[in-house]
């Protein structure tokens, strides 16, 4: 199986702007992450149409999910970043960089911002920052942002590689 990123690639540990910081999502973020998710359920359901997450999510299940994301990051199979305020007192969202099975792409990226941050435009600024970061700092040639750079309907209809 081909590795998601080359062995010599130095995975970025952070992305920092004047407004927020991205860093590896870990089990230590469980309480703040859980709060961000539970206060953003309707928005999250619109970001990933057709799924059931995060309905019924418990703190324990969130801890398990975060542990899984952390391990995937450590083994370089996928990369989940928490989006935190610069003071790290609040989780503002998440970014997920995943391998893809879709033909013509080598990665797919998902992101979301806390519902209370949407009106102020955080999700658009996060998307712009992440797109730029992926282009300049990551080894991918063709990245999809399903639901953003490509419509969900077009994404789901793409042929598998």
* Residue 156 CA: distances (Å) to CA of 38, 43, 48, 101: 27, 20, 12, 11
Q: Round to whole Å and give the CA distance between 81 and 21.
A: 9
For residue 66, pLDDT over 80 is answered with yes
Q: What is the pLDDT of residue 22?
A: 98
For residue 19, pLDDT over 80 is answered with yes
Express as a percent the part of the chain with pLDDT over 90. 90
Q: Where are the domains of the chain?
A: 14-157
Average pLDDT, the chain: 95
Task: Provide the pLDDT confidence category of residue 46 given band limits of 50, 70 and 90.
Answer: confident
Q: What is the pLDDT of residue 50?
A: 80
For residue 75, pLDDT over 80 is answered with yes
Cβ atoms within 10 Å, residue 137: 12
Are 63 and 70 contacting, i.e. CB atoms less than 8 angstroms apart? no
Task: Provide the pLDDT confidence category of residue 48 given band limits of 50, 70 and 90.
Answer: confident
For residue 55, pLDDT over 90 is answered with no
Domain 14-157 belongs to what topology? Aminopeptidase (3.40.630)
Q: Round to whole Å and give the CA distance between 113 and 111.
A: 7
Task: Provide the pLDDT confidence category of residue 27 given band limits of 50, 70 and 90.
Answer: very high
What pTM was estimated for this model as a whole?
0.96
Q: What is the pLDDT of residue 161?
A: 80
Q: What is the pLDDT of residue 35?
A: 98
Mean pLDDT of 92-106: 96
């Amino acid at each position: 199986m081909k590795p998601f990123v080359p062995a010599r690639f130095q995975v970025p540990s952070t992305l920092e702007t004047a407004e927020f910081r991205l860093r590896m999502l870990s089990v230590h973020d469980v309480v703040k992450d859980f709060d961000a998710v539970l206060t953003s359920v309707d928005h999250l359901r619109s970001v990933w149409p057709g799924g059931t997450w995060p309905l019924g999510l418990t703190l324990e299940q969130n801890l398990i999910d975060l542990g899984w994301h952390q391990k995937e990051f450590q083994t370089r199979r996928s990369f989940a970043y928490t989006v935190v305020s610069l003071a790290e007192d609040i989780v503002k969202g998440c970014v997920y960089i995943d391998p893809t099975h879709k033909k013509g792409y080598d990665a797919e990226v998902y992101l979301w911002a806390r519902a209370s941050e949407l009106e102020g435009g955080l999700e658009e600024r996060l998307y712009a920052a992440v797109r730029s970061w992926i282009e300049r700092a990551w080894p991918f040639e063709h990245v999809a942002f399903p639901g953003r750079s490509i419509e969900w309907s077009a994404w789901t209809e793409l042929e598998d590689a």
